[in-house]
Structure 1
């Protein structure tokens, strides 16, 4: 049986990152790009940078669900990259605005209700 501590272990919990470069020259391309971003937000992703969205997942299995959902919503044109990393790896990221280091945001934790 998996304990609550193991369930939220930094090596088991995952972050899914979606990087994309989508064309926006025509009205239809802008609509497709906007729709792709909206579906990411509807699926619980947050904008990390303009073309990078992230989502915290409590397990690899949960990450797989969101990766599959993202793959099902890929636009016809452009480039999309989906990466998953552990919470431990995500926590080792260094963030800078200019030369000033930015305080790391604390990862969100989902509570399970039985």
Structure 2
């Protein structure tokens, strides 16, 4: 069996209108972090997995954590695809970021 390291991207929209919604959001986000997900942007988190079947474990975990009014999308991308991601920013919020296995962020 050949292993190809992948990233699981978790993108979500959760309501924040009531106190209960806000509580559900905090619980969902804390569970993402405790399961090894890292924030890429607001409401977009990722986690490195050795292969797609290993990512299915986290898919199962997230399915049971989704708030009733929430919407969550998972996307599996190869390490190569993730490293080729382009960051486009305007001049006001200029940031330089290195995507991939090197975890260097210059702000």
TM-score, reference length from structure 1: 0.77
Count of residues in correspondence between the two structures: 100
Counterpart among 14, 19, 34 of residue 26 in structure 2: 34
Q: CA deviation at 1:56?
A: 0.7
Q: Which runs of 5+ in 2 are unaligned?
A: 103-107
Secondary structure class of the residue paired with 1:84: strand
2:85 match: 93
Q: CA deviation at 1:68?
A: 1.5
1:111 match: none
92-101 vs 45-54, which deviates more?
92-101
1:43 match: 35
Matched, 1:15 2:7: yes
Q: CA deviation at 1:104?
A: 1.5
2:96 match: 102
Q: What's the RMSD between the two structures over aligned residues? A: 1.9
Q: How many angstroms apart in 2 are the aligned matches of 1:22 and 1:103?
A: 27
TM-score, reference length from structure 2: 0.82
Q: How many angstroms apart in 1 are the aligned matches of 2:6 and 2:38?
A: 14
